[in-house]
Every structure is written in structure tokens, then in C-alpha cells.
């Protein structure tokens, strides 16, 4: 709906940007978010943070025959509140409505679309010749990585929506961006490697992407094809299961695992070929066992964090292999049980995931607005059955 479709309440309320709200939440402030979208949209994807309490009251409850409702719905909590919707339109009307009724209220500028533009960078506290920092997108849990060594930088799993960030962030560390690397053909977000390639950055993908229909030129790597970066080498490590070509990238004692194993769950096996989910889950089991045999001090840096994932002391969503061996029951399951649990009750597949895959393979082209819209939504890359204790 456009703002013109709502009654003019002749009221003014403050609007808070998503970035400012994120900073308030991270500082420890507790916030009650009044989401005015339809219940099904709210249940599918909402603003999540440990300091957020969500309440859903659709904006239609604040209207009567196209006019402002006579009273405030009973479900609306006392203020202060931050109202939220898809684009910040219906929620701004509700904020004005509540302000006229005496509530302390702010509107979230641009709604969930604004929330999807929050993107944070935090350096890992690890022993490495390189600087390794983690990107985090709170709206979807997407994680990416910036690796900097001796004046050169690589970004792993970049997002198209944040193409402008990567070279600037590398420069802030005194480096030039050399590589844009994808761990696999993503199904939940539009990759940034093609956009970065247009800016002269070398795109890198696993060799198996060719078998999936890769349609643009890229450097292809597999086990043993180290990528030199300053005074370190980024080592590809095959981690199939979530997809056939899934490849991790190791720098010293840090293993970027993409969507294979997360710090509180394992990847779903059905986004490449739904009919081969059981076979993929069996392959993922072998990958999990291989990861479990790594030295306990190896730091696993995953491709996603779930809405309940807790960060490490350094603020990043990482964990040592030793910690994960004790935390994830998946490491202690036999193959048959692991496969059965991993394919049982899989969550909904990411919205528009087939179009996203085609875009990431270079088979279709979309503009920046279409790319951003395609990937709006929650993180659905983990298996539905929790893998932790």
C-alpha cells in the first residue's frame, strides 16, 4: 500500500533508521516492536534480536471502513514502541495513530527492507598471519568474511546488496581487494561476485559450479588449489553435502565452512536436488565427520547464524571444533540416524530460490532492485531438526 491509501492523521512521529535501531539493541536497550504486517508475513520473517520483543497487530485493526479506528486494539502493549512493516508505510500510519492516543512510539524507517540493509563487520580474535573479519546481516543471518594479508584482501561469500562495501573495507585495513570468492552456488541470497568482477576483482568459485551450469568466467578451485594472498594462502577444502560443489576455505587455523556446518545446526541437503536429499545428507555426514577430526582449536566460521545463535566473546558467530564436538549431537550420531533426522520436516525453501540460483550461475540477469527483492526473507538454510544439545 502507498501512504496515500491511509487517512491523513496530521501527526508527526519520529522515525528511527534500521542502523540506529541495531546500534541501540547492541548497546543493551530492550525494544518492543509492533509489527503491522499480515500474520503470515510476520510469522515467515520478523525482526529478531535478543533484546527485541515482537508483537503482531495488523494495520487493518487500526482502520474502520477506511477511517481511523475508534479505539486502540487490546493487543497493543504500552509504549514505548517501534512500529514496523514491510516498507515502513502502514507502520508509520499506525505510529501516528498511536501517538494521537498518547503512546510513546517511533516508526522504523523503510521497515523490514531497511532492516535488510544492516550489515556489520567484526574482526575475529584468532591467531593468524592474516586479519580475518566476519560480515553479519541480521535480517537473514548471512555471514561473509574479509581476509586481509600484506596489502591484499579477499571477500568470501559477498552479497550483491553490499557490493560497495568490500573494496572500501579492504582499504580501511590498508589493502586492495583481489578476490571475490563464493563457497558454493547460493540459494538464499544474490551473490556479489559477478558485480565485483565487473569492478576488476577476480571471481572464484568451486570447480563443481560448472556441473551446475555456471555461465560466466571465473577462477575455479578445488582441494590443493591454494589462492595466494599477500603472505598467506587461502586453501580450498571440499565440504559437499548441502550442495555437491560446497567448498570451505582455510586460512591458518580458521576454516570458513559456507553452508555445511553452523555453530548450532547443520545445513539442509535439498536445495540443489530435492529428490536427492537423502543422498546429499549421507554425503554431508561424511563431511561432518571429516570436520570433527580436525584439531580441536580450529575455528569454524560458518555461512549463517540462526536467530537464536549466540556470538563468541569476540562478537563473531564462530566456534572451535572442540566446542562443536561437545555441542552438536550430530557429531555423535550414526549415519542412518543423521540422514533420517536431517531430511525430516525440512523448513520451507527460501523464497524464489530457483531464480536466485539461476542468477548466481549467471544464467539470468537482474538489476540491483530485483536482486534485493529476490532475497528478502529469513534464513532457511539449516535443517529443521536441531543438531545441538
Could you say which DSSP state residue 310 is in?
P
The CATH code of the domain at 120-374 is 3.60.15.10
**What cell was used for 109?**
524507517
| Residue 388 confidence (pLDDT) | 55
| SS3 state at 35 | strand
Indicate the domain borders of the chain: 3-115, 120-374
Residue 382 has pLDDT above 80, yes or no: no
**219-271 residue pLDDT tens:** 999 999 999 999 999 999 999 999 999 999 999 999 999 999 999 999 999 99
| Residue 79 confidence (pLDDT) | 82
Which of 180, 170, 179 minimizes the C-alpha distance to 133? 170
- β-pair type (176-181, 152-156): parallel
Q: CA distances (Å), 176 to each of 94, 155, 173, 368, in order?
A: 47, 11, 9, 24
Mean pLDDT across the chain? 94
Answer yes or no: are the C-beta atoms of 288 and 162 closer than 8 Å.
no
Residue 94 has pLDDT above 90, yes or no: yes
**351-381 residue pLDDT tens:** 899 999 999 999 999 999 999 999 988 777 7
**What cell was used for 221?**
578451485
Domains 3-115 and 120-374 share a fold: no
| SS3 state at 366 | coil
Residue 331 has phi, psi (to 5 degrees) of -70, -15
Could you say which DSSP state residue 370 is in?
H
Calculate mean pLDDT across residues 94-119.
97
Calculate mean pLDDT across residues 55-69.
94
pTM of the model: 0.94
Q: Show the CA angle centred on residue 137, arms to residues 185 and 386, nearest 5°.
A: 75
SS in 3 state form for 52-121? Answer: EEEEECCHHHHEECCEECCCCCCCCCCCCEEEECCCCCHHHHHHHHHHHCCCCEEEECCHHHHHCCCCEE
| Residue 307 confidence (pLDDT) | 82
Please, what CATH class does the domain formed by 3-115 belong to?
A: alpha beta
Residues of the chain with pLDDT > 90, as a percent, come to 88
Give the pLDDT band of residue 387 (cuts 50, 70, 90).
Answer: very low
Who contacts 254 (Cβ-Cβ below 8 Å, separation ≥6)? 124, 126, 128, 132, 298, 299, 301, 318
Helix ranges restricted to H, 145-232 = 163-172, 193-197
Who contacts 17 (Cβ-Cβ below 8 Å, separation ≥6)? 109, 110, 114
Amino acid at each position: 500500500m502507498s501512504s496515500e491509501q491511509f487517512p491523513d492523521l496530521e501527526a508527526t512521529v519520529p522515525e528511527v533508521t534500521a542502523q540506529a535501531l541495531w546500534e541501540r539493541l547492541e548497546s543493551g536497550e530492550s525494544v518492543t516492536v509492533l509489527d503491522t504486517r499480515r500474520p503470515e508475513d510476520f510469522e515467515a520473517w520478523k525482526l529478531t534480536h535478543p533484546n527485541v520483543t515482537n508483537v503482531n497487530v495488523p494495520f487493518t485493526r487500526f482502520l474502520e471502513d477506511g477511517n481511523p479506528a475508534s479505539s486502540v486494539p487490546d493487543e497493543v502493549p504500552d509504549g514505548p514502541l517501534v512500529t514496523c512493516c514491510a516498507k515502513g508505510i502502514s507502520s508509520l500510519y499506525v505510529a501516528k495513530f498511536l501517538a494521537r492516543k498518547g503512546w510513546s512510539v517511533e516508526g522504523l524507517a523503510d521497515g523490514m527492507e531497511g532492516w535488510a540493509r544492516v550489515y556489520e563487520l567484526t574482526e575475529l580474535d584468532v591467531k593468524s598471519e592474516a586479519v580475518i573479519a566476519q560480515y553479519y546481516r541480521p535480517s537473514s543471518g548471512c555471514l561473509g568474511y574479509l581476509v586481509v594479508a600484506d596489502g591484499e584482501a579477499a571477500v568470501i561469500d559477498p552479497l550483491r546488496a553490499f557490493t560497495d562495501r568490500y573494496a572500501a573495507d579492504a582499504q580501511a585495513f590498508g589493502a586492495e581487494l583481489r578476490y571475490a570468492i563464493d563457497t558454493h552456488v547460493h540459494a538464499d541470497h544474490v551473490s556479489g561476485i559477478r558485480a565485483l568482477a565487473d569492478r576488476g576483482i577476480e571471481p572464484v568459485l568451486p570447480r563443481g559450479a560448472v556441473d551446475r551450469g555456471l555461465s560466466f568466467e571465473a577462477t575455479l578451485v578445488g582441494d590443493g588449489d591454494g589462492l595466494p594472498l599477500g603472505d598467506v594462502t587461502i586453501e580450498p577444502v571440499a565440504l559437499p553435502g548441502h550442495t555437491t560443489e560446497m567448498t570451505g576455505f582455510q586460512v591458518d587455523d580458521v576454516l570458513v565452512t559456507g553452508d555445511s556446518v553452523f555453530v548450532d545446526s547443520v545445513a539442509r541437503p535439498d536445495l540443489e536436488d530435492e529428490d536427492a536429499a537423502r543422498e546429499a545428507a549421507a554425503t554431508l555426514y561424511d563431511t561432518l565427520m571429516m570436520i570433527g577430526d580436525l584439531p580441536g582449536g580450529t575455528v569454524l566460521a560458518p555461512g549463517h547464524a540462526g536467530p537464536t545463535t549466540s556470538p563468541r566473546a569476540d562478537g563473531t558467530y564462530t566456534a572451535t571444533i572442540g566446542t562443536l564436538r561437545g555441542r552438536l549431537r550430530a557429531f555423535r550420531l550414526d549415519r542412518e540416524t543423521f540422514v533420517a533426522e536431517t531430511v525430516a520436516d525440512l523448513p520451507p525453501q527460501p523464497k524464489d530460490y530457483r531464480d536466485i540460483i539461476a542468477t548466481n550461475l549467471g544464467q539470468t540477469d537482474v538489476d540491483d532492485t530485483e536482486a534485493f527483492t529476490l532475497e528478502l526473507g529469513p534464513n532457511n538454510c539449516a535443517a529443521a531438526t536441531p543438531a545441538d544439545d
